[in-house]
Amino acid sequence: MEFNHQSVLAEEVLSFLDKKKSLKIIDATLGLGGHTLNFLKNRENISFIYCFDRDSDAIEIAKKRLEHFNKKIKYINDNFSNIQEHIKTKVDYIFADLGISSYQIENDKRGFSFNSDERLDMRMDKNQDLDAHHIINNFSTNDISEILKNYGEERNHKKIANQIGKNREIAEIFSCKQLSDLINRINYKKGKINSSTKSFMALRIAVNNELESLEKFLNNSTKLLKSSGKLMVISFHSLEDRIVKNFMKYLEKDCICPTSKMICDCEKTSELKILTKKPIVAKSAEINQNSRSRSAKLRIGEII
């Protein structure tokens, strides 16, 4: 199966990679390998890349795309939050693209797509037990409402959760399409963006524990970067971007004492310099070619 895979902000990310010294990189979110392929094709000075992904199927597809460079790559099938368990050396760059893979969206059998008649799934790691079907058919309506509100910022979270509760009393909500149709009847509006987008995003985040994994990844990543090493993260929604932004801001601070204190005694030192005071976003030409790039934000920090 062919997938419409386009790496977001590829040129912008590449522009921050050194052209001279030998580089070791961690691609913490390999996906179908687009960014890693871009790195290796355009920077001959890259000596090695550690590539992480929770999705074993995506890794197999990426291996075929990257077969020319496989001597420079180690593939690791694990959550990027666990990078410290696998990497025992310091690296020059750590990169993460937090967007969902085109393979997962376009492959109906993975249960992410709005129009799929397959079972609701949304697991990035197919070996884990919890999936979207279990949440929708077994969690309380209050819990579902909280997931939609907190992870999707869904305005009609209570209405949607209550309707889910009513529908599943009659029969289980089996497929993505069934759930999407239910949500669209509540959120009915015409437009290019599917009205169930926020709810589907919220479910995906809950299924894959994405925000907690992101926080753990960020905390572990700085321990693996050399001095002057760079952390580069592309996020696609406000919850992720806020976590990345606040993390980098905290590391950049050299004092966390309350403003009421006259003398600093917190012993906090600055660990990182933010290189993107405002996040880098896609240019109009890229957005015209790849609509999903419209929400992408790239933030970069350099270890002091």
Q: Tens digits of per-residue pLDDT, 135-172?
A: 999 999 999 999 999 999 999 999 999 999 999 999 99
Confidence band (pLDDT; 50, 70, 90) for 194? confident
Q: Tens digits of per-residue pLDDT, 221-257?
A: 999 999 999 999 999 999 999 999 999 999 999 998 9
Place of tokens 């005694």: 265
Confidence band (pLDDT; 50, 70, 90) for 115? confident
Per-residue CA distances from 49 to 52, 55, 93, 277 (Å): 10, 18, 9, 27
Q: Whole-angstrom Cα distance, residue 36 to residue 50?
A: 10
Q: Whole-angstrom Cα distance, residue 94 to residue 35?
A: 12
Say if residue 165 is exposed, middle or buried (CB neighbours under 10 Å; 0-12, 13-18, 19+). Answer: middle
Higher pLDDT, 130 or 112: 130
Q: Whole-angstrom Cα distance, residue 42 to residue 139?
A: 48
What is the mean predicted confidence (pLDDT) over 283-300? 93
pLDDT at 42 over 70: yes
Closest CA to 95 of 212, 211, 221, 209: 221
* Least trusted range by pLDDT, from 70-74, 112-116, 183-187: 112-116
Tokens standing for 262? 């006259």
Q: Whole-angstrom Cα distance, residue 43 to residue 36?
A: 10
Confidence band (pLDDT; 50, 70, 90) for 6? confident
Is the torsion defined by CA of 40, 41, 45, 47 positive or negative?
Answer: positive
What is the mean predicted confidence (pLDDT) over 38-65? 95
Tokens standing for 120? 């609701």
Looking at residue 259, its pLDDT comes to 84
CA dihedral of 230, 232, 238, 242, whole degrees rounded to 10: -10
Looking at residue 193, its pLDDT comes to 75
CB 207 within 8 A of CB 176: no
Residues above pLDDT 70, as percent of the chain: 95
Q: What is the largest CA-CA distance in the chain?
A: 65
Closest CA to 52 of 21, 20, 13, 84: 84
